[in-house]
Amino acid sequence: MKQFAQLIKAIDSTNKTSLKVESLTQYFLNASEEDKLWTIAILSHRRPKRPVNTTLLREWATEISGIPLWLFEESYHIVGDLAETIALIIPSSENELDKSLSEYISEIITLKTLPEIEKKAYLHENWLKLNYYERFVFNKIITGSFRIGVSQKLMTRALAKATSIDEDILAYKLMGNWTPETTTFQKLILEENEEDYLSKPYPFYLAYAVEDDFQTDLGDINDWSFEHKWDGIRSQVIIRNREVFVWSRGEELVTDKYPEFQRFLEEIPDGTVLDGEILPFIDGDIANFNSLQTRIGRKNITKAMLQKTPVILNAYDLLEWEGKDIRQLPFSERRELLDKLISQCSCDEIGLYLSETMNITTWEAAAKERERSREKRSEGLMLKRKNSPYLVGRKKGDWWKWKTDPFTIDGVLTYAMRGHGRRANLYTDYTFGLWDGDELVTFAKAYSGLTDAEFRKVDAWIKKNTLERFGPVRSVTPHHVFEIAFEGIAESKRHKSGVATRFPRILRWRQDKPIEEANTIDDLKALIPK
């Protein structure tokens, strides 16, 4: 565990990618095979099931640290991370204890099956024996959410350096439904294994957002293929050996969540891998992404859900055809094959649609098409280089997204909450209201978009202009207007304003605007696409 905790500490203490990769590479060269395999699993979001629920974790940590539960909760709110809070409030010990990462994990797996009283005894004992960083890592494994600023891609790069296996091949090996309990480092990484490849998707190629003046950088517009970009779940649908596998971009096998796609077997031959977007499709039309939210979270999909929010695959690329990996073919050729496949089958019946490509010959026309996105309810345009192969991961150059400009509206700051982590001493999480008559109705929360200096200024103002305090939240005198940007908007019964916004963020502090000039709820509703 010491070795793994040291690795996490080393990664935490630098913001340089090269140093993070270097630390990981060293780790992969020195750790045991079991530990390496678990490290790969953890960094690719394959963790042991949570053995204890967070309520119990909080209670037990509180008990051992001798503070009241409310104080634990306040601290947790400020620290912003449960594993870190527990690691911080428990007294540190000088005890030396060195079990390996994999030993700890196998204990944690067994822990799930033990009675509560033994779980508690186990946690108490180990919390006290570990030092701060080990305790933090231990808690992270138990609670699940391990974000350490190392993407799967960086991990794969380090592993490639340590094993001298090609990075793309490793990325492919690491996909799929393995866990350290069903494989070994030898089998997963070092050996070739045909069977495993049956359900394996290809690493997704991800687009970058265009930059300013990108048109000149992209060269001849005729080299580019245009599509509208829809807000859905990026997925690969695999048909091999008379089976269907659905993979989402998080590299999760989600076949069971979309039983609709079983019908692909009726029309699509084996040895086919489609890349596209799963979209809600209601009454013959692409519906708002919000309507899919209820389905995403559920483990079991009911009939009612299938009827209420059916989905389709809007396919835009073909990665495997007739059992062959065709990712090296130019995009235009892959698309020709895809177009042919879809035109030859009764695709609307099985819920397979084709993302239409457009040839646009001038940037003016492209800009016009982009402006039509709102009415088509797309998020903007995708630009793909016609002669490009299908790359791995996020690589600049061949795929670009050119989103519509965000919606914006001017709201009034009404509530503020302390931030987390490095902003824990500042009020940086804000709630904004819009006018409904002479009342301000909450419509969005946002906590990013201002500079540190601006946050400090607003924070100082908040502390002097507090009306009421509710735990960590303060209501403030309505005085400041902020321009809020957001990506999407839809009607919502769950929000008091009757409207849900997607990815709201602060665009600007409108110090020039009095609150009377902030927008109204009706202004906001007028933005909902009809």
Partner 1 sequence: MKQPLLVFNEKGIYCEQADVYIDAWRPVDKCIITHGHADHSRWGHKQYITHHKNTSIIKHRLGDIIVTGKAWNETFVINGVTFSLHPAGHIVASSQVRVEYKGEVWVFTGDFKTENDGLAEAYEPVKCHTFITECTFGLPAFKWTPQAEVFNDINNWWATNQAEGKTSVLFGYSLGKAQRLLKHLDPSIGKIYTHGAVENMTEVLREHYDFHETIRITRETTKDELKGNIVIAPPSAHGGTWIRKMVPYVTASASGWMTFRGARRRRAMDKGFVLSDHADWDGLLESIKTTECEKVITTHGYTDIFARYLREELGYDARTEKTQYEEEGAEVGDKKEKEAAS
Least distance (Å) between residue 249 CB and partner 1: 25
Least distance (Å) between residue 126 CB and partner 1: 19
Angle at 362 between CA 359 and CA 365, to 5 degrees: 80
What are the CA-CA distances from residue 202 to residues 170, 322, 501 (Å)?
11, 15, 33
Least distance (Å) between residue 425 CB and partner 1: 5
Least distance (Å) between residue 438 CB and partner 1: 29
Copy the structure tokens of residue 454: 């601006």
Distance CA 187, CA 175 (A): 14
When the beta carbons of 91 and 115 are compared against partner 1, the nearer one is 91
What are the DSSP calls for 105-132, one per residue?
Answer: HHHHHHHTTS-HHHHHHHHHHHHHHS-H
Distance CA 92, CA 146 (A): 22
Distance CA 183, CA 18 (A): 30
When the beta carbons of 22 and 339 are compared against partner 1, the nearer one is 22
Distance CA 333, CA 512 (A): 54
When the beta carbons of 445 and 456 are compared against partner 1, the nearer one is 456
Q: How many other C-beta atoms can be found within 10 angstroms of the C-beta atom of residue 299?
A: 6
Cβ pair 278, 255 in contact under 8 A: no
When the beta carbons of 81 and 196 are compared against partner 1, the nearer one is 81
Per-residue burial over 470-484, b if 16 or more Cβ lie within 10 Å, else e, is eeeebbbebebbbbb
Write the DSSP symbol of residue 292. Answer: G
Least distance (Å) between residue 79 CB and partner 1: 6
Single-letter code of the amino acid located at 365 = A
Least distance (Å) between residue 77 CB and partner 1: 10
When the beta carbons of 417 and 444 are compared against partner 1, the nearer one is 417
When the beta carbons of 74 and 436 are compared against partner 1, the nearer one is 74
When the beta carbons of 14 and 110 are compared against partner 1, the nearer one is 14
Residues that bind partner 1 (CB under 8 A): 12-16, 65, 67-68, 70-71, 74-75, 78-81, 84-85, 88-89, 91-92, 136, 149, 420-425, 453, 456, 460, 463-464, 469
Least distance (Å) between residue 131 CB and partner 1: 11
What are the CA-CA distances from residue 413 to residues 262, 293, 434, 463, 487 (Å)?
49, 28, 9, 13, 20
Phi-psi region of 270 (alpha: psi -120 to 50; beta: other; left: phi over 0): beta
What is the bridge-based pairing of β-strands 499-502 and 488-491?
antiparallel
Least distance (Å) between residue 87 CB and partner 1: 9
When the beta carbons of 136 and 258 are compared against partner 1, the nearer one is 136
